[in-house]
Chains A and B, each alone.
Chain A
Amino acid sequence: MKRFFLILVIIGLVCSAGIAFAEEKIKPEVTAPGVAEQAKPALPPPAVPAAPAPPKIDTGDTAWMLTSAALVLLMTPGLALFYGGMVRTKNVLGTIMQSFIIIAIISVQWVLWGYSLAFGPDVGGIIGNLSWFGLNGVGLDPNPDYGATIPHQAFMIYQAMFAIITPALITGAIAERMKFKTFFVFTLLWATLVYDPIAHWVWGVGGWIRNLGALDFAGGTVVHISSGISALAAARLMGRRKGFGSESMAPHNLPMTITGAAILWFGWFGFNAGSAIAAGKLSTSAFVVTHLATASAALSWTFVEWIYKGKPTTLGAASGAVAGLVAITPASGFVGPMPALLIGLGAGIFCYIGVFSKNRFGYDDSLDVVGVHGVGGTWGALATGLFASKLINDAGADGLFFGNPALLGIQALAVVVTWVYAFLVTFILLKVLDWTMGLRVSEEEEETGLDLSQHSETGYNF
């Protein structure tokens, strides 16, 4: 315990030293807009980021982006409720705590080094450098590369919420059995070693996957595939829960789960429509397709379950909705409403099958992160390769059904690279953590439950 705090203090000291060092390098930003203003062109500036005109802040765009950031933040507590209701009573707080504390951990990590690694000046197409450590150089004037009409910090804080929810997704796979302090360290390291690089590859200027032309509007690869496949590594390494297959592991509070799913649906409008980084046609299009894909996925999962199991379940409807949200995420800024319905239809079916495969392969992905996020994200990324149309977003590309089979290949490459990288790094990371700190709680602690054993609390004291 004391060693754990010692490690945290050392990290804190290193960061403080880094901040102090970085602050010396701050150049006044006043000169840049001043210079540009004198060179104002007579013609309206072109739409590309390299425009000579000074970036002008649009209040509508900024309002929407700040709102979207808040919406995406709300998704993490929503996820906490979604997962919390699905575990057993004795683990409800432990499950919720994992998502909730990630908000705190990653918020700090993001503004110290995460944002710089993900979106900072590119190094070799692989990663950003640390020149934006401690938000050095990340001010309130727009950065033309990342939101030409909003303050740079608005973009940064919006992206922070994505960085937060991604590791939270993984917690579903290792529910009810992970040591809290190991989970804490894992979160910090996974964000730095997996999320930040992949975000850079796909979204950062200079990122190699972005340069290849892969399309990921709001995070199919960056968020869902990365967390989904990492969840697979985690589930395999953690091992099955005690009593898996023989004891009842039924959800203890499905009303809480459905509430969580509804909050996720609501917040996801910020996730997808906000990825337009502006308020207008594209964000509207993303908003509409997000809603349609979710609705159709909820229906398709419900119907598949109705046919195969005899009854439509609330958990199925909610899970279908989440699967649809996941699948439409990479496609949301590139496809039209009717393809969105098809993407949702596919998500309900493929993710339902994905959830069942865990029985065939025997791993305990407790809350189906692999089946919903891994499979859903993969379907969504490939569906983008099928249905993308430049009529919807001319900054995108056309997909297979619009005459360009090449995109599908690029999407597939991005998917496979993400699978391999996320799986390998997560696997190694967890192996090291298991060896040094231990991943799992003891059998007795697992029997007592995480709430009492990790947090000395009981969820319900009626």
Chain B
Amino acid sequence: MKRIEAIIKPFKLDEVKAALSAVAVQGMTVSEVRGFGRQKGHTEVYRGAEYVVELVPKIKIEIVVPDQTVTRVVETIAKAAKTGKIGDGKIFVVPVEEAVRVRTGERGEGAL
């Protein structure tokens, strides 16, 4: 099992969700995060006082999938989230040791 963490631009969320359900991904966790890489932030001005806001709002999607679907899911996300401009985001793949379904107590890939 692997956890796929994808940081994407917020307005791309609906597109990525639609693309993922087309490849039968059944669940995900979405959080609102802020961060930066190469994308510059912006400047705000309040009564002449300038504030440089470096952290840019992003969306983080986390999905845990069986090993054999990892490549397909990563490609789906990358394709749907891409705009070609700086700030499109990153995807990380991390191994997962155990998964448990809370309702039934199932473990392993059956819990996904």
Contact = CB atoms under 8 A, between A and B. Distances in A.
Nearest to B52: A248
A90 B47 CA distance: 21
A25 interface: no
A359 B44 CA distance: 17
Contacts of B49: 249-250
Interface in A239-277: 248-251
A446 interface: no
Contacts of A248: 51, 53
B110 interface: no
In the complex, which range does the number of interface residues on chain A fall in? 10 to 19
In the complex, which range does the number of interface residues on chain B fall in? under 10
A426 to B, nearest CB: 24
Nearest to A371: B47
A170 B47 CA distance: 18
Majority SS of interface residues in chain B?
A: strand
Contacts of B48: 305, 309, 355-356, 359
A315 interface: yes
Contacts of A311: 45
A94 B108 CA distance: 52
Interface string A311-346: 101011001000000000000000000000000000
B46 A250 contact: yes
A122 interface: no
A368 interface: yes
Interface in A281-317: 305, 309, 311, 313, 315-316
A368 B47 contact: yes
A356 B46 CA distance: 12
Contacts of A355: 47-48
A368 B44 CA distance: 18
Contact of B45 (A309, A356, A359, A368): A309
Nearest to A314: B46
Contacts of A86: 46
Best-buried of A248, A251, A311 by chain B (most CB within 10 Å)? A248
A316 B49 CA distance: 12
A66 B17 CA distance: 61
A386 B44 CA distance: 38
B38 to A, nearest CB: 22
A326 to B, nearest CB: 15
Interface in A84-103: 86
Contact of A319 (B44, B47, B51, B53): B47
A305 B50 CA distance: 13
9 contacts: A249-B49, A251-B46, A305-B48, A309-B45, A309-B48, A313-B45, A316-B47, A319-B47, A356-B48
Interface of B: 44-49, 51, 53
Given A248-B51, A249-B49, A250-B49, 7 more contacts: A250-B51, A305-B48, A311-B45, A313-B45, A313-B46, A315-B47, A355-B47
